[in-house]
Chain A
Amino acid sequence: MKRQLGALGLAIAALGTMAVTTANASGGDEKVTLTVGLMQDLDSPNPTAGYLVSAYELWNLQYATLTDKAADDFATEPGLAESWEPSNDGLTYTYTLREGLKWSDGEPLTADDVAWTINTSRDQEWINHAATTANLDAKVIDDRTVEITTSVPDPKLPTMDVYILPKHIWEEQAAGDITTYAADDGVGSGPFTLQQWNPGQDWTMVANPNFWRGEPKFDQIVFRVFTEGSAMVAALRSGEIDFVHDVPSEQFEGLSGEDGIETVIGQQGGFSELAMNGMAGGIGDGHPALQDLVVRHAIAKAIDRQALVDRVLLGQGEVNPILGVSPDSVWFPEIPEADQLNYDPEGAAKLLDDAGYLDTDGDGTREMPGGGEPLQFRYAQLSDSDTAGPNQELITGWLQQIGIATEVTTYDQTQLTDVIASGEYDLFVWGWTPFVDPDPMLSYFTCAQVTTDAASPGYNDANWCSDEYDALYEQQNQELDRATRIDLVHQMLTLFHNESTYVVLYHDADTQAYRTDRFTGWVRQPKDVGPVLFTNTSPSYWNLTPVDGGGDDGGTSTGLIIAIVAGAVLVLGGVVFFAARGRRQQDDKE
């Protein structure tokens, strides 16, 4: 027994010595770190393979773009290129790069990198590049000059917001299947570059001294992955992390009142909609009543959008009936008062009455004019969504009030995609998040995107098609005058709103929170309404300045860790010791 106790004592003494040595060793190199908590791991640091929000944030930090976007309103600003000149026909732009640009590894960043990225991404159809570069051709004039020509008029130019990759690293990868490259080289041109990724745990990005705006004002960013929202919020409160992306809505209100914590409700144009099957693709079995504009208007008027924002989003969103085609509200038209399909259940019922949709058999559900099929719609919702259940309860209740019955089915995203592709649905609730330019979101509702073969579905998930909308789309797609283009987009969105094939339920928000005692200089993009991180170009990172005395991370020191471990060993040892002694006494007695 004495020998056992002696061993235990030795072990504790050894731990104690280690505590002192390690505590001393870790004293010197305190780095100023911004720690960001989020609920999503990185999928891939490779911009030709990844597609999650977390990966976009990494690329925004690691890869500067030829042109940048203003924090306030996404206006095109100089980036790697300090200036550009259009040709007379507007099809060619000549960009001049800044002087002395370098990659983070010290290699020069030249026009060759730019041209290589644009041309290779077009030829190989990289998933995050090709939508921008499909019609472009880039030519190197000299080290600092690159000429980009588009084969069709492109109103997005001179904006050139694709990630420019270092040719000296990526050229070799592009020879094989570039999408399988691990992209752990950490060579970039943005403010921070990837140093290490521990999958499922965290990734660290370090300041790039060669960033064209100058070296960032702190050393590194750690992105930390959480799988439990309340644990993430607890870590913010205790100071283990400095920023939280996607605060669970039930925790958000509690945080917003707290000292030293600032909360942000950030709009980026993302929205949720109730979609109705327009059957334009000719496949499937959508309810015929939904092809009648009167019924679609009645459904829109039956929905109290303010109540959805208040009760489903707990106020963390915005009532806005316009299709969110961009985080920039300049593209959103004003709908005249008379055309707004605001909450009006009596009006909705009257619309249906007047059009002959009456409840002839007295079962509470209306029938088609002339007493045919009842107005009973299949309502599809997503399983992995916090808002699906509450939305469904309210919406189906409101529809019932105006004599429309529903039959609810819950699907996961893959199943719902299949159901929509097959056209075998009436109503569903889902959402979208737009790019900055409205063109992609507008394109999804053209006739070309209607699904005609379930095996290769298009993006037009309402199966709605309008020649007038398509004509406007073609015009805006090539209109180089911004004011005229804005006007065309307003016409399209007004038309889309009036057709009511989508009832936009609300524009949802990113809920974020940060500690005010660590960094200052948080920037919302767009101004006043956007989030502070995970925005389109996330300008906060190079604006942040550490607060004096905020260098301490608030985490536990190594010494304390060791003390706790030693304590645990002691307790465990004690338990074993007493158990052993107890047994011995027992044995002696019996």
Chain B
Amino acid sequence: MRRRFVIGKILGALSTLVFVVVFNFFLFRVVNDDPINSMFRGRNLTPEQLERLRVKFNLDGSKWEQFVAYVQQLLHGDLGYSLKSSRPVSTVIAEAIWPTVLLVGTSTLLAMLGIALGYRAGWRRGSSFDAAATSVSMLTYSMPEYWIGMVALGVFAAGLGWFPVGGLNDPGSTATGIERLLDQLHHMILPATVLAVAYIGEYMIVARSAMIDTSREDYLQLARAKGLREADVRKRHAQPNALLPVVSLSAINFGFVLSGAIAVESIFSWPGIGQQIQFAISGPDFPMLQGLFLLISAAVILANLAADLLYGYLDPRVAGR
């Protein structure tokens, strides 16, 4: 891989990140520039008390002054205080990351089973397996997460009572270690399954069409002519070449793991990043929104960078050009 390719990609990612920092700051302030008055409506506060709150949350001064203060804080690794909870934004985000990684990460991994299904279906295009897998995938792909979630909640939690209706732990439980983890797994089964069902179709369809494209290539005929077994033709010659679209899809989706799953986290009251986004939007809690969007953008940008570099490795033509 050429060094210029790598450096170019990294610089590109960095400049996108800088753009995001600037854009995030002004985006929320275009529509709402001072939430203090509406937050404390009817609280019987004096103008002096309101002004002190503005100073505390860096909402006094001009937009430019606020922006400079924000960037200075950011360079010191300080994301400011949440308007709603008065807690440091970084603390709130740190607390929400584990539940989100656990839930969305697990379901993304589960959904990657779809790749295997897609390869199989694409390889034996037109078979009954292909017909069944494709139609089921199209079905789950087109169902909204919210709807699958509500049905699952109604049947397996509220109806049959197999699973709790939401949350990460049994509230008030003081369990630690393995018992706590098992409790979290028990809470996670339903939302993770819902997400996996919602995601799996996408992987299956992309992997299938990549495999179909590849299966027409001449070098597969050559491989067969060399006398390779059909399974080896698929594994050694077809699958590696059908990998590229799947890699980029996976990388992008892993980037989005950190952005949580707003709909499913909301239904299952899952204390992750998606839930924090929901809390922060009704406010609006600028410092929280800025911090959350920065985290999500950084994750997506990094995942894309990883995909780009991996591409260069998997397909030397990309990096060499």
Contacts and interface: CB of A to CB of B under 8 A. Distances in A.
Given A199-B95, A234-B153, A51 B39 contact: yes
B275 A227 contact: yes
A561 B266 contact: no
Interface in B30-44: 31-35, 37-44
Contacts of A565: 182, 185-186, 189
Contacts of A415: 31-32
Given A226-B166, A234-B165, A414-B32, A200 B95 contact: yes
Nearest to B235: A587
Interface in B146-183: 150, 153-154, 157-158, 161-172, 175, 178-179, 182-183
B269 A231 contact: yes
A43 B84 contact: yes
A322 interface: no
A456 interface: yes
Contacts of A231: 153, 157-158, 165-166, 267-269
Contact of B178 (A18, A35, A441): A18
A234 B154 contact: yes
B266 A227 contact: yes
Most chain-A CB neighbours within 10 Å: which of B37, B39, B86? B86
Interface stretch (B239-247, B277-285, B293-301, B304-312): B277-285
B225 interface: no
B234 to A, nearest CB: 9
Interface in A525-565: 555-556, 558, 561-562, 564-565
A127 B48 CA distance: 11
B167 A202 contact: yes
A237 B165 CA distance: 11
A234 B44 CA distance: 37
A523 B150 CA distance: 34
A421 B163 CA distance: 49
Contact of A179 (B40, B45, B56, B179): B56
B92 interface: yes
Interface stretch (A1-9, A342-350, A432-440): A432-440
A201 B167 contact: yes
A228 B157 CA distance: 14
A125 B271 contact: no
A466 interface: no
Contacts of B236: none
A180 B186 contact: no
A331 B255 CA distance: 58
Interface string B51-69: 1110010000000000000
Contacts of B205: none
Contact of A227 (B178, B186, B269): B269
B47 interface: yes
Nearest to A29: B174
A432 B39 CA distance: 13
B40 A51 contact: yes
Contacts of A224: 167, 171, 269
Given A224-B171, A228-B267, A200 B44 contact: no
A25 B47 CA distance: 56
Interface of A: 18, 22, 25-26, 31, 33, 35, 41-44, 46, 49-52, 125, 127, 130-131, 177, 179-180, 182, 198-202, 204, 220, 222, 224-228, 230-232, 234-235, 237-238, 240, 384, 412-418, 421, 432-433, 435, 440-441, 443-444, 456-457, 459, 555-556, 558, 561-562, 564-565, 568, 579, 586-587, 590
30 contacts: A18-B178, A25-B179, A31-B172, A43-B86, A49-B86, A50-B86, A51-B43, A199-B92, A200-B275, A201-B167, A201-B269, A204-B172, A220-B172, A224-B167, A224-B171, A226-B166, A227-B269, A228-B268, A231-B157, A234-B153, A240-B164, A413-B39, A417-B37, A418-B32, A456-B50, A459-B44, A558-B183, A564-B163, A564-B189, A590-B229
Top 5 A-B pairs, shortest CB-CB distance: A200-B271, A234-B158, A417-B38, A202-B171, A590-B230
Interface of B: 31-35, 37-53, 56, 81, 84-87, 92, 95-96, 116, 150, 153-154, 157-158, 161-172, 175, 178-179, 182-183, 185-186, 189, 229-231, 265-269, 271-272, 275-276, 278-279, 282, 284
Given A200-B276, A456-B50, A558-B179, 11 more contacts: A43-B85, A199-B92, A199-B95, A201-B271, A222-B172, A234-B153, A235-B164, A413-B41, A564-B162, A587-B229, A587-B231
